[in-house]
Structure 1
C-alpha cells in the first residue's frame, strides 16, 4: 500500500481515477487519506460530478485549469491547501470569483486584450507571493494608477513575445517586490528617470531587445540602489549576436 501511495504522487487526480478506480477496491477511500497530496489539472463537469465528491479537498495542493472558459462552476476558495494555481486562457470576463485562502504561487496565461485588467486583478489578491504572468503581448503603457491596496507579491515574472515594463506602476503598487524577471523585454532603457526607489528588490533578470546595456545598468541600479544584489541583462540584438551583462553588487 505504501508503494501505491508513493506512486499516486506522480499522477493528476483524474489520471488516478482513470487508472485505478475500477481496479482497486474502494479506491476513493485511499484518496481521502490525510497524507496524500493531490494535483488537479481539470475542473470540468466530470471532475465536479465524479471526482470532487470522492476526494479530501484539503489534500489538493495544486490546480491547473487549461481553459477558463471550460471550467465548471466550482468554488476555488474551498481548496484551502492549494499553494500553486495555474490559469490558462484568462480574460476579464472569466476571472474566478474566489481563490484558495493559502495560495502562494499563481501563474496566469492571459489574452492580450485583457492583460491590464487581469494583471491588476492578480495584484489585488491577498497573500500571493509569486506571480508568473504570460501573454502574447505585454504593454501596460504609462500607468500611474495606485491600486486600492498594495500587492503582497514578492517575485514577479513576465513571459511574452514582446514585453514593455512600466516601472512606475510596479513602484506604486508592489512595495514588497524582491525579484523581477522578464523575457523579450523591448526598449527597457526608455524610462522616466524621475522614479522612486524599490526598497526590497534584490534580483533583476531581464532578457532584452534593443537595449543600451550601460544606460540600463545605470537605471536599474538607481531604482534599486538600496537593495539590489544581482542584476542580469541578456541583450539579443540580432539572431547571431547576444551580449550578456551580469552585475553583482556586494
Structure 2
C-alpha cells in the first residue's frame, strides 16, 4: 500500500490513469482514495475503465456511489450468496461477468444490457434450470458453464426463444452433451468446447444439422474416435472447419484426433 501512495506523488495524471485500468476498483479506492485529492472525480473525468471483483456491502455503500456506472466493464462475484442487493442492470457497459456459487435462488433479477461474455459456476443440483436461464439472456455471445456434474434432461425441450450464444464451453468432472437440445435452442452456435466429456458419440442419429458450427474441441472419456468423427461430420457437415478430440484415458497419439476440414 505504501508503494502505491509513493507512486501517486511522483507520476503524472496520464500515467496514473493508465495504471488504474490494471487494478480492481476496490484496490484503487484502498490505495488512492485517501492520498489523491478528489480521487473519484479523477476516475470519472478520466473515463477509467473499471473492474469489479466484490459486490458486497462495502462496495455498495462506499464505492458504488463514487464511480460512474458506465465505466464498469467487468464484474466478478465470488459468492452469489454474499452479494449485496445491487442491481447488475445498472452497469450498462459491462461486457464480461463471472458468477460463482450460483443456484436458482440467487440468480440475478437483472443483467447488464450489453453483456457479451458470461461465466457461471453452478451447483450441480441447479445446473439444468440455470443453463436454461443463461441461454435465454439477450445478446450473450459466449457462455462458459462450470459445474461438478453436467447432464441435462428434457432434450426435446424448446426454449421460449432461440439463444444468441455463439461460443459454448462446458467445464466439469463429468459432462454429457445433449446435441439435440443444442440443435433445438442454439441456431447460431459456432464453437463447442468441453472437458471430461463422457460417451460423446452415444446419441440419436438423424438429429439435424448445425449450420454455423465451425469448431469442436472435446476432451473425452470412453470414446470411439472414428465413430465420433463420423457423427460430428454428419451433424455439422456444411460448416465444420476444425475438430479436436482427445481421449483422456489414453496418452497414445492414436487416441488423439485433430481434424482440419477445408
| TM tier, smaller | over 0.9
Describe the superposition over 1:198-237 as per-residue Cα deviations: whole angstroms up to 9, x where unpaired: 0110000001011000000000010001100100001112
Distance (whole Å) between structure 2 residues aligned to residue 79 and residue 159 of structure 1 = 27
TM-score (norm 1): 0.97
3-state SS of 1:29 partner: helix
1:220 to 232, 257, 262: 232
In the alignment, what sits opposite 2:29?
17
For the 8 Å contact 2:17–2:46, the answer to whether it is kept is: no
In the alignment, what sits opposite 2:95?
83
In the alignment, what sits opposite 2:6?
none
2:202 to 170, 180, 190: 190
In the alignment, what sits opposite 1:26?
38
For the 8 Å contact 1:33–1:56, the answer to whether it is kept is: no
TM-score (norm 2): 0.93
For the 8 Å contact 2:199–2:223, the answer to whether it is kept is: yes
In the alignment, what sits opposite 2:68?
56
Shift of 1:26: 1.2
**Which protein shows a greater Rg?**
2
Distance (whole Å) between structure 2 residues aligned to residue 5 and residue 235 of structure 1 = 48
Aligned length: 249
Distance (whole Å) between structure 1 residues aligned to residue 124 and residue 256 of structure 2 = 29
Shift of 1:50: 0.2
Larger proportion of helix: 2
Of stretches 81-90 and 34-43 in structure 1, the one that deviates more from structure 2 is 34-43
3-state SS of 1:151 partner: coil
Distance (whole Å) between structure 1 residues aligned to residue 106 and residue 51 of structure 2 = 22
For the 8 Å contact 1:128–1:153, the answer to whether it is kept is: yes
Q: Does 1:124 align with 2:136?
A: yes
Distance (whole Å) between structure 2 residues aligned to residue 241 and residue 184 of structure 1 = 17
Shift of 1:142: 5.4
Name structure 1 gaps, 5 residues minimum.
none
Describe the superposition over 1:92-118 as per-residue Cα deviations: whole angstroms up to 9, x where unpaired: 110000000000000000000000000
In the alignment, what sits opposite 1:93?
105
Over 3 Å off, 4+ runs: none
Shift of 1:22: 1.1
Distance (whole Å) between structure 2 residues aligned to residue 64 and residue 209 of structure 1 = 32
2:155 to 143, 147, 155: 143
Distance (whole Å) between structure 2 residues aligned to residue 9 and residue 33 of structure 1 = 14
Distance (whole Å) between structure 2 residues aligned to residue 237 and residue 61 of structure 1 = 40
Q: CA RMSD in A?
A: 1.0
Distance (whole Å) between structure 2 residues aligned to residue 154 and residue 226 of structure 1 = 17
Name structure 2 gaps, 5 residues minimum.
1-12
